[in-house]
């Protein structure tokens, strides 16, 4: 694509005549090659504006930045008010507006995004649709999976992935939409056919500062420009959550309200839930959907109802919705049972918010016959306000808590644990073990036949982020190594 064509994304630069054939677009100066465009964006730890000289030395034909040029160069300098928005607009144009060629489903909420994405993926596949997924765990299509370092990739990477999927015959894409991606304009340029709200509870207040800011950010997905470009766009909203009840009156497109109460469009009353799964009947505007699932817990029932709502919005046959739900079994790191422990229950779960931890523990409490031992911690350089809340939840509902490290990053693990312990009940039984491997070993050695061990916080993750390095670490592998 010619540089002059890409500059059409910026009205004030449309008069520039330049026939340079742009060979690439990057926000990392190290990746710049001759006739690439470099977009300088401000990150959490570094600022791309500090690397403009390197990008020009590497051959950038144009630089997009928020500052004035003070560098003598042949490269065209494009000054913008917001370089993140500029990157999103350029990426969308460079890759040919890929979301307009897809049926795009966006799922947002504090908890349940990944599970709901898996469920929707299987419902679409049951209908014979060629489906891709962009999730916290990975991005995948055609039985191929690729690492995804962010829940929602940077706009350039996201548009590249969507383009890659359309080029390989994918017609439907299910993606998790994080609050960070909305605040940082990563999903700008995406046109959604269905947007889903799972729930909202405290998280990410290190980034958003207040719950009101966090809530406002989530709401953005349900308004222009994300839902105004597709003619038949729908919203699926969980009304079992108080924020869902507050959201639906504000949404201006057709909605499918889901929840356990019969007044919702999609509902399920009195399902049979056990540790091995759930069954029942889901009521929908298109008729009842037979519910048979390997997933368990009230929180997963809400995820199933959200996915069913997506199926109804896309006019997927009832039988295929039911089939997709039943085909969704174990989701990596989501109440994942390690069956090697045959005489006791050992679960690994991604729960890293107070609400998620309470949900998963309440699910286990319905079925436990003996003790519950919970291993958990809180991430460093993240929302400090949730630390005592998680301490309170775990100590109130567990027979024994083992407080440990969970991606401490630049913070001393002892300081994080101190914050957690402020919320632990005075009469609770708990232990502290900073080393996460030793904490997991301690929990399993403490457990007896019939006990439940819950290892919470990291789920599918295969690393531990320390102050000066990232090491390989997998809760599942660690637990399975205990003898």
Distance CA 258, CA 238 (A): 5
Known binding residues for meso-2,6-diaminopimelate are: 382, 406-409, 457, 461
**Between the CA of residue 134 and those of 32, 139, 162, 168, 177, what are the distances in Å?**
26, 4, 9, 15, 9
Annotated binding site for ATP: 109-115
The position carrying tokens 């960070």 is 180
- Going along the chain from its start, the domains and CATH numbers come out as 3-83 (3.40.1390.10), 98-326 (3.40.1190.10), 336-480 (3.90.190.20)
**Is the bond preceding residue 225 a cis peptide, omega within 30 degrees?**
yes
Cα distance between residue 344 and residue 452, in whole Å: 6
| 24: β partners | 36
Cα–Cα dist 457/378, whole Å = 7
Separation between Cα atoms, residue 207 and residue 210, nearest integer Å: 9
């677009």: which residue's tokens? 25
- Tabulate helix, strand, coil % of the chain (nearest 5): 35, 20, 45
Take residue 14 and report the two structure tokens written for it. 């449309």
Which helix (H) or strand (E) segment holds residue 292: the answer is strand 289-293
Phi, psi at 68, each rounded to 5°: -75, 155
C-alpha–C-alpha distance, residues 33 and 15, integer Å: 25
- Quick one: which of 196, 185, 143, 135 has its CA closest to 161? 135
Would you say the C-alpha torsion 122, 346, 376, 273 has a positive or negative sign? positive
- Structure pTM? 0.93
Residue by residue, pLDDT tens for the chain (483 residues) are 899 889 888 877 766 777 899 999 999 999 999 999 999 999 888 999 999 999 999 999 999 999 987 788 889 999 999 999 999 999 999 999 999 999 999 999 999 999 999 999 999 999 999 999 999 999 999 999 999 888 899 999 999 999 999 999 999 999 999 999 999 999 999 999 999 999 999 787 788 779 899 999 999 999 999 998 898 999 999 999 999 999 999 999 999 999 999 999 999 989 999 888 999 999 999 999 999 999 999 999 999 999 999 999 999 999 999 999 999 988 999 999 999 999 999 999 999 999 999 999 999 998 877 999 999 999 999 999 999 999 999 999 999 999 999 999 999 999 999 999 999 999 999 999 999 999 999 999 999 999 999 999 999 999 999 999 999 999 999 999 997
Give the list of residues 6+ apart from residue 467 with CB closer than 8 angstroms, or none. 408, 409, 410
Pairing verdict, β 131-134 and 139-141: antiparallel
Element of type H or E holding 481: none
Alpha helices by DSSP H, 376-434? 386-397, 413-421
Q: Residue 38 is encoded by which pair of tokens? A: 């470099």
Exposed/middle/buried for 260, CB within 10 Å: 0-12, 13-18, 19+?
middle
Binding residues: 29, 44-46, 109-115, 151-152, 178, 186, 382, 406-409, 457, 461
- Is residue 129 within 8 Å of 66, Cβ to Cβ? no
């Amino acid at each position: 694509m010619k540089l002059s064509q890409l500059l059409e994304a910026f009205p004030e630069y449309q008069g520039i005549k330049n026939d340079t054939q742009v060979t690439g677009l990057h926000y990392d100066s190290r990746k710049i090659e001759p006739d690439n465009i470099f977009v300088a964006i401000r990150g959490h730890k570094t600022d791309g504006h500090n690397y403009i000289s390197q990008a020009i030395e590497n051959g950038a034909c144009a630089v997009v930045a928020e500052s004035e040029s003070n560098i003598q160069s042949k490269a065209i300098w494009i000054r913008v008010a917001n370089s993140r928005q500029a990157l999103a607009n350029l990426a969308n144009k460079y890759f040919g507006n890929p979301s307009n060629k897809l049926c795009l489903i966006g799922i947002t909420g504090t908890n349940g995004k990944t599970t709901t994405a898996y469920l929707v993926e299987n419902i679409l596949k049951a209908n014979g649709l060629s489906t891709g997924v962009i999730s916290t765990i990975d991005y995948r299509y055609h039985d191929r999976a690729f690492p995804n370092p962010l829940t929602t990739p940077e706009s350039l990477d996201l548009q590249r992935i969507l383009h890659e999927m359309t080029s390989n015959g994918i017609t439907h894409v299910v993606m998790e939409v994080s609050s960070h991606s909305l605040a940082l304009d990563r999903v700008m340029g995406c046109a959604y056919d269905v947007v889903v709200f799972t729930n909202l509870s405290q998280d990410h207040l290190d980034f958003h500062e207040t719950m009101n800011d966090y809530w406002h950010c989530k709401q953005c997905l349900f308004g222009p420009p994300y839902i105004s470009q597709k003619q038949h766009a729908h919203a699926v909203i969980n009304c079992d959550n108080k924020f869902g009840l507050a959201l639906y009156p504000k949404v201006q497109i057709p909605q499918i309200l889901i929840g356990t109460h019969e007044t919702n469009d999609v509902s399920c009353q009195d399902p049979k839930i056990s540790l091995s799964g759930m069954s029942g009947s889901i009521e929908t505007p298109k008729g009842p959907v037979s519910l048979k699932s390997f997933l368990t817990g009230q929180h997963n029932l809400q995820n199933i109802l959200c996915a069913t709502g997506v199926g109804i919005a896309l006019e997927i046959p009832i039988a295929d919705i039911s089939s997709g739900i039943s085909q969704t079994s174990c989701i990596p790191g989501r109440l994942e049972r390690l069956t090697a422990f045959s005489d006791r229950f050992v679960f690994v779960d991604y729960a890293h918010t107070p609400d998620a931890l309470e949900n998963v523990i309440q699910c286990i409490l319905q079925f436990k016959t003996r003790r519950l031992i919970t291993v958990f911690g809180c991430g460093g350089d993240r929302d400090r306000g949730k630390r005592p809340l998680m301490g309170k939840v775990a100590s109130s509902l567990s027979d024994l808590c083992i407080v440990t490290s969970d991606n401490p990053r630049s913070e001393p693990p002892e300081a994080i644990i101190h914050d957690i312990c402020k919320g632990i009940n005075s009469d609770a039984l708990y232990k502290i073990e900073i080393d996460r491997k030793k904490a997991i070993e301690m929990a399993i050695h403490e457990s007896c036949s019939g006990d439940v061990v819950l290892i919470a916080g990291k789920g599918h993750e295969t690393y531990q982020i320390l102050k000066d390095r990232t090491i390989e670490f997998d809760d599942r592998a660690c637990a399975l190594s205990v003898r």
